[in-house]
A and B are shown apart, each in its own frame.
Chain A
Amino acid sequence: MIIEKFLNKWILFFLLLIPILGFVLEEPYYITLTTKVIILGIAGIGLNLALGYCGLISFGHAAFFGLGGYVTGILSFHALNSELMFSWPFIASGSSNMLVIWPIVIITSALLSFIIGVLSLRTTGVYFIMITLAFAQMLYFFAISWPNYGGEDGLSIYMRNSFPMVNTMDPTTFYMICLFWLLLAVFISAKLINSSFGMAFQAVKQNEERVKSVGIETFKVKLLVFIISGTITGLAGSLYTDLNRFVSPSVLNWQMSGEIMVFVILGGIARLYGPLVGAAFFIVLEQTLGVYTENWQFWLGLILILEILYVRSGILSLFEKKLKYEK
């Protein structure tokens, strides 16, 4: 664990170094690529709270990621066309200001995770995995067949949403915004995990019956974790739309849920920086294998399987010094 903390400091240092590196090498592409890693890492950090620390295997986090993405896309779509979003029950217009968009994304994601959570948490085990998947698929098909916002073709926004005083179209500026959110997500996770509430939801993962028997209402605990988890992932979705200036139903697809899950497991489940490392590994692999072969997914699949069969506890565990009495 001590080594992991040491490693986390290096990860942070490296993330701060990236903009300088990109500037010196005159390769803004690396900055954009790292931004993608950070955003996907945030999505994973969200899922990790539910999946890693509380044992809620959600196979539907694409729902939140996609919702955040679509809310952002739709708001800025209306702002750019200067159309009203709706005029009943109150008049609402779009917005392309991140400071307006983020609270709306946070509220809608929290609301969606509340609804999905209340319904899904009645089930356990495989049924929970499948019902979360079903909710995400519902949104996916809805996005495909709803023609107002691009349907299957997705929705393009021509300008990245704005942030007061800075130019978000500059890769380094946008990178810093995403880095801020990453640090906040890590900070919130760390605070939660070490709080008494955190003790409760980590205990639920180990033995729910026992937690119940000491008088904790586990349903409420799980629901709250699920809402926080979904909200963080939703925010990542908002940033992802801004990064690509495009949102399409593929962010709601079950493969997206699978990928977010892969980030968490690949990096190491229930580790603070695990999802970030997992996302980085995934993206780097995609980029490097993509250069050599068209069939990079084949090798990705192979590496994943080997990782699950033999490494088991994620990349970060490779750096952990085994104590003598551990095997």
Chain B
Amino acid sequence: MTSILFFEQLLNGVQFGTMLFLMSAGLTLIFGVMGLINLAHGSFYMIGAFSAALIAGLTGSFWLALLASLSGAAIAGVLIEIIIIRRLYRRDHLDQVLATFALILLLSEGVRWCFGAFPLFLDIPSNLNGTLPILDNLIYSKYRLFIIMMGFLIAFGLYILITKTRLGVRIRAGQNDRQMISALGVDISKLYTIVFALGASLAGLAGAMIGAIQSVEVGMGEPILILAFVVIVIGGIGSIKGALIGSILVGVTDTIGRIFLPEVLKIFMEPASATSVGSSIGSMLIYILMALILIIKPSGLFGKN
């Protein structure tokens, strides 16, 4: 019984991790290429979820809604990059943190203005509803499996994009030496806009997919944004491989820790206090993990110094 529960929670952790990856891949790319700390990345997660809910409400199609989340977040990303973000690349981290913090206020209130304060709901399409037997006693939600699959598919797609295409070559070159590639005639500001829009659309897609399990509401992006930052710091800022491994690590640690820490503590303590201590430490676990990793490796697992 416990091993079944464990596997189920492991899958939950991986599912959570793949969504974190969609968020952190964009965040880490944007930091790696443009050197920008983007606190407003969570807002694209929210914008994606709201675009999806809007289109799903109009057309009733989940697939169109997913498409809308990608394009809605990408359009918002392009606009915001051109109007505001572009002016921040040369500024120091402090200005970037503050400007994007202000951007969160602006975008969250803007969305609340348009859609109202009540949460919206996105329905899972009927063919992804229900469960699928994986092992003998283990059945698992089809939709969550779909999320895991999408996450890995996108990770693979990103890998191809970064390593095998011309755009990928430019992105990698941008990470190494910004001035050099603009000197070599690459339109750097266009490249920046593309990278920013790519990151925004991935976040938007994550928002729509998670929005179907939870609810679509203002402020949904910020908790996951903080986790995405934890991920990229653990993985090493700028590294997509680090983001993937960090995401899975954080997703699994968080899910497993919250469930099993109280159980483990019950061996040593009385049940009531084990539950409260376990759940409070469980929710701090990923931050403890991050602090430990940074203390041992100050630039993350795959970061270059």
A122 at the interface (CB under 8 A from B): yes
The secondary structure that dominates the A interface is: helix
Decide yes or no whether B21 CB sits under 8 A from chain A.
no
Q: Contact at B288–A138, with CB atoms within 8 Å?
A: yes
Binds B, one of A6-14, A141-149, A208-216, A315-323: A141-149
Are A146 and B276 neighbours in the complex by a CB distance under 8 Å?
A: yes
Given contacts A145-B279, A261-B98, contact A131 B291 (CB under 8 A): yes
Partner of A133, one of B31, B226, B284: B226
Note all chain A residues with C-beta closer than 8 A to B149.
none
Task: Determine whether the beta carbon of B113 is less than 8 Å from that of A298.
Answer: yes
Contact A305 B106 (CB under 8 A): yes
Q: By DSSP majority rule, is chain B's interface helix, strand, loop, or mixed? A: helix
- Which residues of chain A have a CB within 8 Å of any CB of chain B? 51, 57, 59, 119, 122-127, 129-131, 133-135, 137-138, 141-142, 144-148, 254-255, 258, 261-262, 265, 269, 295-298, 300-302, 304-305, 308-309, 312
The interface on chain B, measured as residues whose beta carbon lies within 8 A of the other chain's beta carbons, has a size of 44
What are the residues of chain A within 8 A of B222 when measuring CB–CB? Answer: 254-255
Compute how far the CA of A309 lies from the CA of B100 in the bound complex, rounded to whole angstroms: 11
Which chain A positions have C-beta within 8 A of B113?
295, 298
Most chain A beta carbons < 10 A, residue from B39, B282, B284, B295: B284
Closest CB-CB distance, B281 to chain A, in whole Å? Answer: 8
Q: Give every chain A residue within 8 A of B37 (Cβ-Cβ).
A: 126, 129
With known contacts A295-B113, A304-B98, A142–B284 Cβ distance under 8 A: yes
Complex CA–CA separation, A308 to B88 (angstroms)? 9
- Kindly state the separation between the CA atoms of A147 and B110 in the bound complex, as whole angstroms: 35
What residues on A are CB-neighbors of B101 within 8 Å? 258, 261-262, 304
Contact with A along B98-141 (1 / 0, CB 8 A): 11011111111110110000000000000000000000000000
Chain B residues near A (Cβ < 8 Å): 31, 37, 39, 84, 87, 93-95, 97-99, 101-110, 112-113, 222, 226, 229-230, 233, 237, 276, 279-280, 282-284, 287-288, 290-291, 294-295, 298-300
**Interchain CB contact under 8 A, A138 and B287:** yes
Whether the Cβ atoms of B93 and A297 lie closer than 8 Å is no
A146 to B300, CA, bound (A): 30
In Å, the complex CA distance between A297 and B104 comes to 9
B230→A134 contact, CB < 8 A: yes
Is there an interface contact between B97 and A305, defined as CB atoms closer than 8 Å? no
Contacts of B109 in A (CB 8 A): 295-298, 301
Q: Which residues of B contact A51 (CB under 8 A)?
A: 94
